């Protein structure tokens, strides 16, 4: 009798204990981290999330992953490292996600990879460019966008070839911004080009004193790099334009952050945005892939605009994680990391994604080395990035050289 009672109680415990677990077993949770409020780059974060959501919808329409429904758990990091850490802890310990993707701020990504490394959970970085993110050498960390050394060494070569003589860089005081300054200094100084650099807090709103100083410099500054994200990036362009400094017939300006790629850019910068240079890590349809066409169609149907580089990265991030889950047939961290490293070879929206295993140079570890990068230039107001003139790489260039503004 006692035995029966015990069995009954045990059975009850098992059933009750398993009830929520069985429910949880029917969904596969993937964490998405992105800046969705200021001082982070909000439009960047939202594009990332939109791309990721389309990927999850597609996966679910096709029957989910390993027979389970895919659920994205989205965490807002506000572009602040401490928030990134907290969000990651919550995703891993409370929401029990199997993997994490996203992020668009390097300082935050650097905080997040520490958590991922500690728990052995794979994290695919969508849009954080500081070298150190992958250079740390954590096996759990993958990146399917460019890093500063990869893009700005090329941009620096382009600047040299285009004949610019004095480059000024104003960068934000973050891992990404300071990295931008460093890479330009290293690459351009070696080529004999004068580089003047300045760094500032990310919250700075008035760049006028520094821009005036640069405008009065000898030899004259003919290329200005705006190494800010969020409001700062747009304000610097606007203020440089108002002072008649850049973009002007004497000085070009490159908006290195991603805030130059969204409709909000035109709403806030207005006519100051014409002739601005930008460097997207992807343009819809270049190179043309099947996934790119499909994604562009779904994105347009949902948001009524063409996808930007970050939205494509968000989509690719979730899909790459899905590929790894399918390949390893499990959700266990180590197996996923191994699958991402060895088995993922997937044609995404911007080309075939495959992660590098070499550790020299350090930043190349777990990077997608063939990520497409462009230097584009807006030629009229309210232009979308894919309609802008492509200056570089030569393979895709639509104009011969940098277009000098008439004024």
Partner 1 sequence: MLFLSQLANALVIGTLYALMALGLSLIFGVLKLVNFSHGECLMVGGYLYYVLATTLKLPLSISLALSLPVLFLFGVFLERSLLRAPYQRRMARYDEYVILVTFALGIFLQNLALPVFGPYNRQAAPLFKGSVRIGELVIAGDRLTGALVAFLVIGILLFFLYRTYLGKGLRAVAQSPGAAAIVGIKVLRMRAVAFGIGITLAGVAGALFGPIFLVNPEMGTSFAVKAFVIVVLGGMGSIKGSIVGAYILAIVESFGSILLPDPSRALAYKDAYGLLLLVLVLLFRPQGLFGEKERRA
CA-wise closest residue to 321 among 63, 77, 167, 126:
126
Among the listed residues 82, 161, 201, 332, the single contact to partner 1 using CB under 8 A? 201
**Beta carbon nearer to partner 1, 204 or 384:** 204
Kindly state the smallest distance separating residue 49's Cβ from partner 1, in Å.
Answer: 12
- Residue 382 as a binder of partner 1 (CB under 8 A): the answer is no
Task: Report the distance separating Cα 132 and Cα 296, nearest Å.
Answer: 32
Q: What DSSP line would sit under 276-304, residue for residue?
A: -EE--S-BTTBS--HHHHHHHHHHHHHHS
| Binding-site size, partner 1 (CB under 8 A) | 37
Among the listed residues 60, 85, 153, 197, the single contact to partner 1 using CB under 8 A? 197
Note the helical H segments in 142-205: 148-161, 175-190
- Residue 289 as a binder of partner 1 (CB under 8 A): the answer is no
Q: Is the dihedral of CA 122, 279, 195, 234 positive or negative?
A: negative
CB 84 within 8 A of CB 108: yes
Tokens of 258: 């991603």
Residue 10 host element (H or E): helix 2-25
**Beta carbon nearer to partner 1, 12 or 38:** 38
- Residue 12 as a binder of partner 1 (CB under 8 A): the answer is no
Among the listed residues 64, 139, 264, 287, the single contact to partner 1 using CB under 8 A? 264
CA-wise closest residue to 125 among 395, 377, 396, 365:
365
- Residue 182 as a binder of partner 1 (CB under 8 A): the answer is no
- Residue 379 as a binder of partner 1 (CB under 8 A): the answer is no
Phi/psi for 360 (5° steps) reads -120, 130
**Beta carbon nearer to partner 1, 43 or 58:** 43
Among the listed residues 66, 73, 162, 204, the single contact to partner 1 using CB under 8 A? 204
**Beta carbon nearer to partner 1, 178 or 344:** 178
Among the listed residues 64, 270, 287, 372, the single contact to partner 1 using CB under 8 A? 270
Draw the binding track, 135-174, toward partner 1 (x: CB under 8 A; -: no contact): -----------------------------------x--x-
- Residue 250 as a binder of partner 1 (CB under 8 A): the answer is no
Phi/psi for 333 (5° steps) reads -55, -50
Q: Is 85 exposed, middle or buried (0-12, 13-18, 19+ CB in 10 A)?
A: middle
Task: Report the distance separating Cα 52 and Cα 311, nearest Å.
Answer: 7
Note the helical H segments in 191-230: 208-215
Draw the binding track, 210-239, toward partner 1 (x: CB under 8 A; -: no contact): x-xx--x-------------xx--xx---x
Side-chain half-sphere of 392: how many Cα atoms within 13 Å?
Answer: 21
Kindly state the smallest distance separating residue 340's Cβ from partner 1, in Å.
Answer: 32
- Residue 39 as a binder of partner 1 (CB under 8 A): the answer is yes
Residues 6+ apart with CB under 8 A from 406: 249
Kindly state the smallest distance separating residue 32's Cβ from partner 1, in Å.
Answer: 17
Give the count of beta carbons closer than 10 Å to the beta carbon of residue 404: 12
Residues 6+ apart with CB under 8 A from 62: none
- Residue 177 as a binder of partner 1 (CB under 8 A): the answer is no
Task: Tell me which stretch binds partner 1 (CB under 8 A): 89-97, 109-117, 143-151, 195-203.
Answer: 195-203
- Residue 102 as a binder of partner 1 (CB under 8 A): the answer is no
Among the listed residues 9, 244, 329, 369, the single contact to partner 1 using CB under 8 A? 244
Strands 389-392 and 375-377: antiparallel
- Residue 47 as a binder of partner 1 (CB under 8 A): the answer is no
Give the count of beta carbons closer than 10 Å to the beta carbon of residue 170: 26
Among the listed residues 42, 70, 256, 321, the single contact to partner 1 using CB under 8 A? 42
Among the listed residues 25, 26, 93, 203, the single contact to partner 1 using CB under 8 A? 203
Task: Tell me which stretch binds partner 1 (CB under 8 A): 1-9, 111-119, 201-209, 392-400.
Answer: 201-209
Tokens of 2: 């006692």
Which residues of this chain interact with partner 1, rule CB under 8 A?
Answer: 36-39, 42-43, 170, 173, 196-201, 203-210, 212-213, 216, 230-231, 234-235, 239, 242-244, 264, 267-268, 270
């Amino acid at each position: 009798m006692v035995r029966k009672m015990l069995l009954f109680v045990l059975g009850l415990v098992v059933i009750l204990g398993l009830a929520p677990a069985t429910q949880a077993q029917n969904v596969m949770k993937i964490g998405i981290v992105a800046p969705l409020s200021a001082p982070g780059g909000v439009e960047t974060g939202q594009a990332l999330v939109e791309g990721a959501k389309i990927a999850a919808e597609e996966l679910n329409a096709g029957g989910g992953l390993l027979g389970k429904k895919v659920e994205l758990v989205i965490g807002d990091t506000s572009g602040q490292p401490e928030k990134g850490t907290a969000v990651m802890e919550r995703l891993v310990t409370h929401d029990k996600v199997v993997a994490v993707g996203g992020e668009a701020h390097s300082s935050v990504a650097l905080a997040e990879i520490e958590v991922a490394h500690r728990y052995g959970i794979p994290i695919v970085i969508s849009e954080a460019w500081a070298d150190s993110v992958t250079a740390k050498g954590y096996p759990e960390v993958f990146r399917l966008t460019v890093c500063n050394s990869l893009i700005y060494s090329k941009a620096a070569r382009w600047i040299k070839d285009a004949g610019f003589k004095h480059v000024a860089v104003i960068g934000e005081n973050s891992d990404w911004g300071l990295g931008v300054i460093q890479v330009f200094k290293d690459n351009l100084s070696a080529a004999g080009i004068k580089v003047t650099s300045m760094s500032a807090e990310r919250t700075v709103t008035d760049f006028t004193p520094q821009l005036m100083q640069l405008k009065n410099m000898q030899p004259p500054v003919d290329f200005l790099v705006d190494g800010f994200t969020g409001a700062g990036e747009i304000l610097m362009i606007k203020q440089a334009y108002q002072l008649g400094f850049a973009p002007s017939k004497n000085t070009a300006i490159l908006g290195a952050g991603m805030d130059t790629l969204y409709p909000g850019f035109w709403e806030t910068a207005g006519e100051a945005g014409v002739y601005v240079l930008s460097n997207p890590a992807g343009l819809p349809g270049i190179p043309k892939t099947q996934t790119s066409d499909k994604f562009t169609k779904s994105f347009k149907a949902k948001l009524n605009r063409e996808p930007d580089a970050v939205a494509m990265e968000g989509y690719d991030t979730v899909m790459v994680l899905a590929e790894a889950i399918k390949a390893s047939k499990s959700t266990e961290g180590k197996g996923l990391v191994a699958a991402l490293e060895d088995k993922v070879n997937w044609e995404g929206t911007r080309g075939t994604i495959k992660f590098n295993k070499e550790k020299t140079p350090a930043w190349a570890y777990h990077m997608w080395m063939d990520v497409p990068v462009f230097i584009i230039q807006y030629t009229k107001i309210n232009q979308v990035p894919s309609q802008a003139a492509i200056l570089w790489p030569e393979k895709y260039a639509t104009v011969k050289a940098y277009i000098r503004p008439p004024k």
